[in-house]
């Protein structure tokens, strides 16, 4: 029986690919969209209005760095006027005085701030941006002073995984309501840096124990979300809650996607907002329907008791590792390709042993994409 199509409740709005940082774990595409390809203010306002009509309840304003959009206050106000919950996802550097307060005045509901390290040298080195750690601390204090709920986002990899206890202390010291320990997922630029980012198995185990203990200790004080690393998992996570099931992504040029990395699947063609209404894309786009629900599944997914728990896992990961976007996510222990995950971990370990330490990072600089692709 086919599951009835429900409206999306969440949207990730990537307002721009521009960013002041050069993080080697960035999951944005290898080829970034320049400012002249971004949707203008009027089009974003139209898109958000249609999203509200469709049933979207929350919008995550992201990038790149969304505060580089001069119209961000106007976009927040428009969403707020329709009763949509807004979460600003920011690197927290280069935000002019008074803007955070203006975001709050416009109706912003929440601010999510990323830290590349719990220590200043780690943050500045990973972001390749001198002084970024101190700027982030100031942004956190300004957000709390403006009355905004705060999430600290900690993208975890080999170079900061031992700082997890300090991330917990940092989030507490900043008055955060929530801490997200988000192990890096290997897509986009992060895939190009996988060898330098992949943690050791022992560090993963220590991290899990630390997070479990902190969750128990801080229950009722601070929520801690833990995004486990796929390469060390037994079962996959549901991608975006399931492909085109309850959320969507819009890129800076208005391309509408069922997940952040969906454009890595070359057999799919994704439509842009404006050429078609958002509701039509959500309901009728062949790309959205390609992996929606369970009818598309192969065995062992098709008869698996977890098929409506993980919804097949990550289609982009299946393509990247197995070569077939419809294959069982190789993270799953039931996949014939599951052993490839362990083999990739071993391969990265060997590569790291022959690398030049941190100098092996490929930073996200403009103009080197052709060297990576």
Q: Is 239 annotated as a binding residue?
A: no
CB contact at 8 A, 63 and 15: yes
The distance in angstroms from the start CA to the end CA of the chain is: 41
Q: Given the structure tokens 């790309």, which residue do they identify? A: 287
- CB atoms under 10 Å from CB of 358, counted, come to 12
SS (H, E, C) 199-224: CCHHHHHHHHHHHHHHHHHCCCCCEE
CB contact at 8 A, 86 and 61: yes
- Determine whether 158 is exposed, middle or buried from the number of CB atoms within 10 Å of its CB (0-12, 13-18, 19+): middle
Beta bridge partners of 257: 249
105 in helix, strand or coil?
Answer: helix
Q: Which long-range contacts (CB under 8 A, 24 or more apart) does 76-82 make?
A: 76/103, 76/106, 76/107, 76/108, 77/106, 77/107, 78/45, 78/48, 78/49, 79/48, 79/52, 79/107, 80/106, 80/107, 80/108, 80/109, 81/107, 82/48, 82/49, 82/52
Token couple for 134: 């101190």
Give residues with Cβ within 8 angstroms of 107, minimum separation 6. Answer: 76, 77, 79, 80, 81, 86
Give residues with Cβ within 8 angstroms of 203, minimum separation 6. Answer: 158, 161, 162
Length of the chain: 373
Q: Is 259 annotated as a binding residue?
A: no
CB contact at 8 A, 231 and 58: no
Q: Is 332 annotated as a binding residue?
A: no
Binding residues for [4Fe-4S] cluster: 19, 23, 26
Binding residues: 19, 23, 26
């Amino acid at each position: 029986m086919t599951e009835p199509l429900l409206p999306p409740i969440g949207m990730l709005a990537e307002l721009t690919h521009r960013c002041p940082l050069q993080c080697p774990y960035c999951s944005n595409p290898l080829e970034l969209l320049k400012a002249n390809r971004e949707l203008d203010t009027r089009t974003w306002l139209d898109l958000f209005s249609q999203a509200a009509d469709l049933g979207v309840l929350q919008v995550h304003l992201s990038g790149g760095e969304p505060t580089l959009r001069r119209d961000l206050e106007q976009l927040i106000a428009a969403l707020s006027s329709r009763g949509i919950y807004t979460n600003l996802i920011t690197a927290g550097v280069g935000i002019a005085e008074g803007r955070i307060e203006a975001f709050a005045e416009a109706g912003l509901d929440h601010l999510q701030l990323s830290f590349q390290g719990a220590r200043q040298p780690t943050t500045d080195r990973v972001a390749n941006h001198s002084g970024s750690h101190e700027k982030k601390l100031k942004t956190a204090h300004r957000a709390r002073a403006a009355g905004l709920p705060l999430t600290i986002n900690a993208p975890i990899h080999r170079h900061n995984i031992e700082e997890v206890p300090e991330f917990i202390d940092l989030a507490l010291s900043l008055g955060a309501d929530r801490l997200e320990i988000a192990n890096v997922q290997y897509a986009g630029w992060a895939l190009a840096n996988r060898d330098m980012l992949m943690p050791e198995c022992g560090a993963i185990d220590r991290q899990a124990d630390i997070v479990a203990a902190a969750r128990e200790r801080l229950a009722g004080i601070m929520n801690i979300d833990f995004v486990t690393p796929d390469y060390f998992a037994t079962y996959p996570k549901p991608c975006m809650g399931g492909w085109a099931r309850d959320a969507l992504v819009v890129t800076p040029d208005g391309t509408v996607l069922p997940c952040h990395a969906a454009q890595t699947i070359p057999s799919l063609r994704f439509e842009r907002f404006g050429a078609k209404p958002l509701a039509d894309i959500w309901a009728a786009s062949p790309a959205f329907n390609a992996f929606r629900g369970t009818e598309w599944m192969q065995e062992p997914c098709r008869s698996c008791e977890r098929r409506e728990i993980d919804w097949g896992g990550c289609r982009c990961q299946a393509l990247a590792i197995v070569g077939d976007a419809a294959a069982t996510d190789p993270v799953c222990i039931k996949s014939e390709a599951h052993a490839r995950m362990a083999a990739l971990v071993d391969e990265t370990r060997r590569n790291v042993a022959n690398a030049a330490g941190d100098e092996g990072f490929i930073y996200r600089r403009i103009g080197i994409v052709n060297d990576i692709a």
